[in-house]
Amino acid sequence: MEKTYDPKPIEDAWYQKWLSSGLFHADADSAKPSFSIVIPPPNVTGSLHMGHAFNNTFQDIMCRFKRMQGYNVLWLPGTDHAGIATQNVVERQLAKEGTSRHEMGREAFVERVWKWKQQYGETISSQQKKLGNSCDWDRERFTLDDGLSRAVRTVFVRLYKKGLIYKGKYIINWCSRCHTALSDIEVEHENENGRFYHVRYPFVGEEGSVVIATTRPETIYGDVAIAVHPRDEKNRHLVGKQVRVPLGGRVIPIIEDNMVDPEFGTGCVKITPAHDPNDFLVGQRHGLPQIQVIDGEGIMNANAPELENMPVAEARKKAAQLLGQSGSLVREEEIEHSVGHCYRCRTVVEPYLSEQWFVRTKPLAEAGIDAVRRGEIRFVPEQWEKTYYQWMENIRDWCISRQLWWGHRIPAWTCGECGHITVSEMDPTCCEKCGGTNIHQDEDVLDTWFSSALWPFSTLGWPDTTKELSAFYPTSLMVTGFDIIFFWVARMIMMGLEFMGREPFRDVYIHALIRDEVGQKMSKSKGNVIDPLDMIDRYGADALRLTLASLTVQGRDILLSPAKIETYRLFMNKLWNASRFALANLDDTERSWKEHIASLRMHDCWILKRTSEVAIETEKLLGGYFIGESARSLYDFVWGEVCDWYLELAKPALRGEEGGARRQASMAVVEYVFRHVLLSLHPFIPFVTEELWRNFGFTTSLIEENVWSIDPVDTPEQNDVKESMTVFQEIVRVLRNLRAEARIAPQQKVHRVFLQTSQQEIASLVTANRDLVELLVKAEEVSLSSAKPTGCLASSFAGGQAFLYVGDLLDIPNEISRLRTELESVEKDIATSTSKLNNEKFVSRAPREVVDQERTRLSESEAKRRRIRENIESLE
RNA sequence: GGGCGACUAGCUCAGUGGAAGAGCGCUUCCUUCACACGGAAGAGGUCACAGGUUCGAACCCCGUGUCGCCCA
């Protein structure tokens, strides 16, 4: 074994071995209980970013843990066709080649995207393999593959027949760059500086005018009414009057509608049904016309003659100018207002009137709410239920049609003869109503999230009845970020309940976001991206995984930096070297510590007990998805207890200095410790643990099923040693501290150490372990002493006193002042304890053990004070 | 406007009622036969602020402030 751990050759080799072993493959016929996760499918255009790495690490930890426990684990991988994103990527490519999708035509374009997919679609899965994902790659799926497309069609047709999908002309969010409709949640609102234009609309046939305020004067051409609130005292008298639109000059009525906020501005608002969602509703209620003035390109049309052919931004300025010239512009003010942007390309989204397909979500959402209420689905952490309910209770219909070419084309055919729409799973040859053959399929494709919503069952073979569905649905766990609760989680729940009659997953773990070290979202434009592959290359996948796991805290974002990953890289090296040391002291014989009970010393019993406790704790924590707590406790245990204390204490015995029986016993303990440590750590850091496991010669492989077996340590001998060990550690610390005070170089041995105690247990502890105190404090001789020795530095521990002999080197004034400092701190403790115990309420109301503990503490402190005072006196 | 979260050592963060913890950084010392990617020791905190509940509060409750996010 190398002295320094090098992850690269080990990680690559083990991943290949795992793949060829076939142990990542889940057997649908297995009799074992199943544990299943479907991966959140990354965009096929994507490459692995830190968010994926975190999300996948979490799932892999759970999958490996469950597999070790003997579950039939399915972790189903796959990718999403990502309509807009993928189409954008290929379109950019075409632009570079000097062509466009419109020039190519639909069929050629779609073919081109498929070609692109074949070429680059493997990128992300190969990166997931680098991370160590134990996915069932035989079952990898793609949202546009044949099976999933069939599921999409089936769902569409059934929802349509049930009246839950409809087509209609409504105001939707339109991205004029992507050239498609977007659903409400695909719009990101941001506060931006804008201008508020106060515009005068003169009455027709009488003097006077009303003033309304708008941020969008270019839409004035589309105004069809002015509205006031029906209970608005100051404006109610206006209702029924008519005004002239200051641009275009049409005459429009003043109406009343509850939508108007009478407190806002003048209490009068313009109604532009074709370009504002609220105005659209008002227009419907009042039977008003819809006048469209902006087209799908974001360009003004002929309904705004003076602005025709201008893009919106330019038209806005021009409109303001025209209003100014005609004296209609009362004033302008700077305001901050919320502006919607396309979540894919950041273009400002226009409310746009067009014919689209929608899912009627209310009934689906109600079932989804109930499923969570009834506890069939559990959010972890629980708080996210609130977010979910809030959205589901106020859900709006889902616009599912997209004016793209890459995606599932809507299975609806309009008849050229009778206008009837035929919706069908199989491509129809004629209109189902009139039999006419002049039918034409809808040009639009479905929202990518429509197919993602089916992912937990479409990937398992639905709509067929498959073994996979009965074995793995409902899945056990969904792991995802809070940013897609609405996009994905809620919709999977609705679709799963509707089509499978069961929830798609039992638990949904919502994790935080990964940010950079100053808390900013990572983004290419900010240049603060930490590339997981780069990190794997530099520090190894294990180090990255353990970092992500350790930094996980429920409900808090993770601030990541390479320096943090480096810290965990050091842990790999520590584990590697501790193992290297252990291996150098073991042989091929298997041993059980139980056969060597008579030869076990305190520290052996202590580490056996601790190892057992930590392994059991790991099991419990992982069962509750507490991967952060679990990772941190293992890290601390391995470094702080196994390495810092146990291995140091075991060295003499392993070298044979304590005799043959002790050597055998220590070997057995070391074996036990490493077996359990490697087992517990494997879900987090599979590569290095697997390599070490093999080096130790423990069974075959850590990914074998049922390998998780904890051999609990629960005998009385082992249970009683924790306190003794604590005393022992304190004695060692106190003496090391004295060495440092005396400026004794670390490698230099001190001659004599005296320990004084009035407690029998401590005396026998010291007697039994004096060699180990000598070892750890580098002393030639440690002895119990009842008399106060001279020429010594002194310090107290709980239950006694430690003396370090320095002879003539004793700097008396310095020692006195050091003891005085120690005395001060003890006095403080005494004061605290005394005041507590003098408080009658404390004594009567606090639990007995707390009061007892306080009494013990006080008497211990008083004993300490007495000793320190004696020491000071003896020096003065 | 509504909601959620955060505020603890110089930095990043653990810590859900019983005497404040880790990693990094800092100071001092050390190449001892697992590891200098290491070891030993140390300094460093009014737990944002103000009230309250409690024998006892970083922790529970109520405000205030600052920052971040989501929804409208």
Q: Is residue A763 part of a domain?
A: yes
Can you give the pLDDT at residue A34? 94
Cα A32 to the center of its chain, rounded Å: 29
The residues of A between 812 and 871 with beta carbon within 7 Å of nucleic strand B are 829, 832-833, 836, 839, 841-842, 845-847, 850, 853, 857, 861
Closest to A188 measured CA to CA, from A344, A346, A341, A391: A341
Residues A712 and A734 in one domain: no
| B68 closest protein residue (CA to C1') | A519
Average pLDDT of each block of 10 consecutive residues along chain A (876 residues)?
90 92 89 94 85 92 93 94 84 85 87 87 89 94 92 94 90 84 82 82 83 86 84 80 82 83 79 84 84 84 83 85 82 81 82 88 90 89 84 87 89 88 88 85 91 94 92 93 87 94 92 76 74 91 92 80 89 95 90 90 92 91 90 92 94 93 94 94 95 88 76 74 89 91 84 90 92 92 86 86 85 85 87 89 90 90 89 85
Question: Last residue of a domain, which of A290, A321, A351?
Answer: A351
Q: What pLDDT, on the 0 to 100 scale, is given for residue A637?
A: 94
Q: Report how many domains make up chain A.
A: 4
**Residues A223 and A293 both lie in one domain:** yes
CATH of the domain at A585: 1.10.730.10
Reading the block at residue A747, the tokens are 């490698």
Residues A250-261, buried b or exposed e (16+ Cβ, 10 A)?
A: eebbbbbbeebe
Which of A327, A351, A375 represents a domain boundary (last residue)?
A351
A165-174 b/e with 16+ CB inside 10 Å = b?
bebeebbbbb
Does residue A551 lie in a domain region?
Answer: no
Report the sign of the C-alpha dihedral through residues A759, A760, A762, A763, in that order: positive
Residues 6+ apart with CB under 8 A from A146: none
User: Which nucleotides of chain B does any protein CB come within 7 A of?
Assistant: 3-6, 12-15, 18-19, 22-24, 28-32, 34-42, 54-56, 68, 70-72
Asked, for residue A407, whether it belongs to a domain, the answer is: no
Statement to judge: residues A123 and A185 lie in one domain: no
Q: What is the pLDDT of residue A225?
A: 83
**What CATH number does residue A104 fall under?**
3.40.50.620
What region, left, alpha or beta, does residue A502 occupy, with left being phi > 0 and alpha being psi -120 to 50 degrees?
Answer: beta
Any idea what DSSP says for residue A273?
T
Distance CA A636, CA A655 (A): 26
**Start-end of H helices in A501-540:** 532-539
Are residue A592 and residue A707 in the same domain, yes or no? yes
Is the residue at A165 inside a domain? Answer: no
Residues 6+ apart with CB under 8 A from A548: A53, A54, A57, A58, A514, A558, A560
For chain A residues 187-216, those near strand B by a CB cutoff of 7 A are 188-189
Q: How many CB atoms lie within 10 A of CB A181?
A: 26
Q: Residue A519 CA to nucleotide B64 C1', Å?
A: 25
User: Do both A475 and A589 map to the same domain?
Assistant: no
Residue A280 Cβ < 7 Å to strand B: no
The answer to whether A440 and A421 have CB atoms below 8 angstroms apart is no
Q: Is residue A442 part of a domain?
A: no
d(CA A350, CA A326): 27
d(CA A347, CA A24): 43
Is A257 within the bounds of a domain? yes
Nucleic strand B within 7 A of Cβ A484: no
**A701 and A737 co-located in one domain:** no
- Beta strand A187-202 with A329-342 is antiparallel
Residue A525 is predicted with a pLDDT of 67
Secondary structure of residue A814 in the 3-state scheme: helix
Distance A580 CA to B25 C1' (A): 30
Does a structural domain hold residue A412? no
Residues A820 and A844 in one domain: yes
Strand B proximal to A578 Cβ, under 7 A: yes
Res A190: pLDDT: 80
User: CA–C1' distance A484–B4 (Å)?
Assistant: 16
Distance of C1' in B29 from CA in A440, Å: 85
A598 touches strand B (CB under 7 A): no
Strand B closer than 7 A to residue A581 Cβ: yes
Residue A261 sits in a domain of what CATH number? 3.90.740.10
Sheet holding A350-359, edge to edge: A180-182, A165-175, A350-359, A398-399
Nucleic strand B near CB of residue A336 (< 7 Å): no
For residues A275 and A201, membership in a common domain is answered with yes
Tell me, yes or no, whether A494 and A597 share the same domain: no
What ipTM goes with this model? 0.94
CA atoms within 13 A on the CB side of A469: 18
Q: Which of A473, A490, A511 is the last residue of a domain?
A: A511
Structural domain contains residue A613? yes
Asked if residue A75 lies in contact with residue A133, where contact means CB atoms within 8 angstroms, the answer is yes
Q: For B29, which residue's CA is nearest its C1'?
A: A745
Owning domain of residue A458: 32-154+453-511
**Whether residue A188 sits in one domain with residue A148:** no
Residue A705 has what pLDDT? 65
| Tokens matching residue A455 | 């992912």
| H/E element, A762 | helix A760-777
Q: What is the pLDDT of residue A117?
A: 86
Q: Chain A, 704-743: which CBs lie within 7 Å of strand B?
A: 733, 736-737, 739-740, 743
DSSP string covering A275-294, please? Answer: T-HHHHHHHHHHT------B
Smallest Cα–Cα separation from A600: which of A725, A491, A487? A725
Local structure of A311: helix, strand or coil: strand
List of E strands, A249-383:
251-256, 268-271, 329-342, 350-359, 378-380
Chain A window 500-519: residues with CB closer than 7 Å to nucleic chain B are 517-519
Domain match, A483 and A566 both: no
Both tokens of A391, joined, read 């959205």
Q: Please report where in the chains the tokens 């000793």 appear, as a residue.
A: A867
Cβ contact A386 with chain B strand, < 7 A: yes
A99 and A188 in a single domain? The answer is no
Nucleotide nearest to A482 (CA to C1'): B70
